[in-house]
Structure 1
């Protein structure tokens, strides 16, 4: 396995694949007007495509693919995922109806679910704890970069060649990436039982027992899920800015996209790099660093909801909201990997992705919409403002869980030292 001798090259390759995944994932958003028109979709059907179809497939399959990555070759699992999502991206370009697009996007999400659990566990093996957060942060930089590139691609290449051709090209590129990736050998059949995962049901049950029995790990995952409520609120940001803050709909979309790309990417890089440097100086490690990040960003995010749009603090608060969730990815993934047993790292991160998609993105988005509708019917003057403030508070409460994780981690280390001392 010569390729493992170049961790930086592996990281760069995984970043490119992650970037491609998020371009494919968000291309439906970039071409939404054209696709809705060509396939004669209703808003409900479109919402189902970009919401429920993706969350149900990606969330559930992330944990299943994680069990495969813990048991078999992680490079082969990733390659299979890339091949599946790329073939189905190509099929998305050929879709002639809502039903065909649903099937294609369902399997795009299923394929993409293979990447993150396997990649995170692989990076955790290749990079030491002192560099792990940086590696994770750079890998997750693929999220904001992919979102930005998908819209840029839709507005440039897509504007000239159309959405179908763009999907065809992306599918072919993905297949071309998957084939050489599948040739990288990682024979895990000879690993000791404590280093290799169990079949799906047994592995899933073991993960639930592990997360439930490790307070530090459980608290980090809860905090990680709560931070993702920021993404649920992003779904309503444009409505809030236009309807309740009086901003221009045409101009604000481009501005939000640019700020999210810049500060999301900055958050991924800085969160990973600073997390590794600062965490070693904090008693709670990466968990304490994440709590500190949330506490720093919290007042800026809340101020954004109250100050006028002409205030510099308004844009600073928006940028803090774009920065925070990506800044937590590097140290969050590093913390989870350091607490997870080696034989279930991929499955535990798959479980984390499942929790994020179900509770933060699916349920969170629906609850925000329902709450806003309730306050509108009740005659509230600024219904979305109140709901988004409540969402911000829930996001900020993640600091409490990160602090609890840091405290539990310190206690676990103290107990471990007590058990070692008599043996000396």
Structure 2
């Protein structure tokens, strides 16, 4: 295989010749990520009906929407990343998909906080195996100059899953109830999990890297290699700070229901499309833009997400402040479009600073950080601030308290660019071409 054609024709690790090509492999990985995002976003759409039936507070709903998923997603992501560096990544993905699909369906059976927490926890455990393994595969399917584009495509197809989850779940919940929606979305993933090992093959590791991949080091040297890098540490702050807006999306359907008085189905048709299309168009456009800019200067892999975070945060604030519902939907679309521009490049930055022998482990650390800060901490913090604001008279009602909480938590994406620039400066000491 040549580095320029991007087609996987090498012999896999213990498997047959890879004939489907890098493009088809990327499409399959994207389809898996579509299920990943689709199952993950369901809770945000169903938050208000679950809260009404089970009588939970905003703080409890924030824990279920955030930490119940994210804490275990983070912890098991580290183990899954290590596993992906040492074993067959395709098998890791297939087993993970089967587990989170079953757990998503199990959410529909929950009758208590503990039961729903356990189901959400298991969704997090299963989904932890997707991103580290997939990013590592992408690193061996595409040469360095095309990785930001490939990661953007992978992320963009996942974003399509978010839109499907928002729109379709919102349409189904009114007629079928929130419990059945979890079944409808969870069970099809099992069929895909059975198909993936039959059509996706393991490419050789490190074939686009100088000298190829070495044998994965023991855990302690691997951790020392990663955590001893200042560039890696800066990215472990920059990326989750940037992705805080994704965590805030857990509360956006509830925000429009409380502040603008729209129904779930109405939000799905308008707000869900605005959010989903914004992320989808932004992510694909960001991949295309990064691909062109990186040809001029490789530093754009770091600079593009820095700029996107700086511009998107004020757009999100405006979304939460305007009184007109239609204008709020338009701003929501623009905010997620701009945020989406940096999603692919922000994550591919980690592949720039981590070698092939620890790449999945590095991505797992990134998943850990984004899980704790973005997917777990941000939704939980919003719920806590909302409850406190209401209890201490800082807001007149649940809508006003939620608006205040959402705006307060926009500070991290606003300053994420400082850490992307710091990571770039550190990496330049090793690679002056950046």
Please report the TM-score for the alignment, with normalisation by the length of structure 1.
0.81
After TM superposition, give the deviation of residue 223 of structure 1 in Å: 1.2
Asked if the contact 1:77/1:114 (under 8 Å) is kept, the reply is yes
CA contact (8 A) 1:271 1:328 kept: yes
Distance 1:111 1:223, change over 3 A: same
Query: Partner of 2:297: helix, strand, or coil?
Result: coil
Name the SS of the counterpart of 2:79 in structure 1.
helix
The count of residues paired between Structure 1 and Structure 2 equals 408
CA deviation string 1:332-384 (max 9, x = no partner): 12211121111111111111111111123333334444445555526478766
Confirm or deny that 1:294 pairs with 2:309. yes
| C-alpha contact (below 8 Å) 1:141/1:265 kept by paired residues | yes
Q: Aligned residue for 1:186?
A: 202
Most deviating of 213-222 and 11-20: 213-222
Q: Which segments of 5 or more consecutive residues in structure 2 lack a partner in the other structure?
A: 1-11
Residue 145 (structure 2) aligns with:
130
Q: Any conservation in 2 of the 1:4–1:10 contact (CA below 8 Å)? A: no
**1:239–1:156: structure 2 CA closer, same or farther, 3 Å change rule?**
closer
Match of 1:343 in 2: 357
- CA drift of 1:95 comes to 4.8
Residue of structure 2 equivalent to 1:173: 188
* Partner residue, 1:420: none
Which residue in the other structure is 2:78 paired with?
A: 63
* Residue 394 of structure 1: aligned partner: 412
CA contact (8 A) 1:49 1:102 kept: yes
For 1:250, the equivalent position in structure 2 comes to: 263
**Judging changes above 3 Å, is the alpha-carbon distance between structure 1 residues 373 and 20 closer, same or farther for their aligned structure 2 residues?**
closer
- Which of the pair is proportionally richer in helix? 1
User: Which residue among 412, 420, 424 is the counterpart of 1:406?
Assistant: 424
Q: Considering only CA atoms, is the larger Rg found in Structure 1 or Structure 2?
A: 1
> Does residue 1:10 correspond to 2:28, yes or no?
no
* 8 Å CA contact 2:163, 2:277 repeated in 1: no
- Post-superposition Cα deviations, 1:225-259, rounded to whole Å, max 9, x if no partner, equal 1112223444455676677xx63343883433221
Any idea what SS the aligned residue of 2:139 has? helix
The answer (yes or no) to whether the contact 1:284–1:409 under 8 Å persists in 2 is no
Q: What's the CA shift string for 1:25-68, capped at 9, x where partnerless? A: 33344445665677x46346655433332112211111111111
CA contact (8 A) 1:14 1:119 kept: yes
Distance 2:214 2:405 in 1: 46
Q: Distance in 1 between matches of 2:238 and 2:405?
A: 20
Aligned to 1:50: 65
TM-score (norm 2): 0.80
Matches within 5 A, 1:158-307: 166-183=181-198, 184-186=200-202, 195-198=214-217, 202-203=218-219, 205-237=220-252, 247-250=260-263, 253-254=267-268, 255-282=270-297, 284-298=299-313, 300-301=315-316
Question: For 2:349, what is the secondary structure of its paired residue?
Answer: helix
> Cα distance 1:299–1:101, how it changes in 2: closer, same or farther (>3 A)?
closer
| 1:216–1:405 Cα contact (<8 Å) kept | yes
Deviations 1:269-311 (A, max 9, x none): 11111112112323623012222333444554455566x5459
Decide whether the 8 Å contact of 1:3 with 1:10 is kept in 2.
no
Distance in 1, Cα, partners of 2:179 & 2:110: 9
Cα deviation for residue 268 of structure 1 reads 1.1
In 2 relative to 1, CA 145–281 (structure 1 residues): closer, same or farther, beyond 3 Å?
A: same
SS of the aligned residue for 1:397 comes to helix
Q: Distance in 1 between matches of 2:55 and 2:325?
A: 40
Partner of 1:20 in structure 2? 35
| Cα distance change of structure 1 residues 41 and 14 upon mapping to structure 2, 3 Å threshold | farther
User: Structure 1's 325 and 346: CA in aligned 2 closer, same or farther, altered over 3 A?
Assistant: farther
Relative distance call for 1:389 and 1:94 in structure 2 (3 A) is closer
Counterparts of residues 133-152 of structure 1 (less than 5 Å): 133-152=148-167
CA contact (8 A) 2:108 2:180 kept: yes
Aligned ranges 1:108-123 → 2 under 5 Å: 108-123=123-138
Contact 2:274–2:329 (CA under 8 A) maintained in structure 1: no
Task: Kindly report the root-mean-square deviation, in angstroms, between the aligned alpha carbons of the 2 structures.
Answer: 3.6
Cα distance in 2 for residues equivalent to 1:216 and 1:292: 18
Alpha-carbon distance in structure 1 between the residues aligned to 2:408 and 2:112: 39
1:169 is displaced (CA, Å) by 4.9
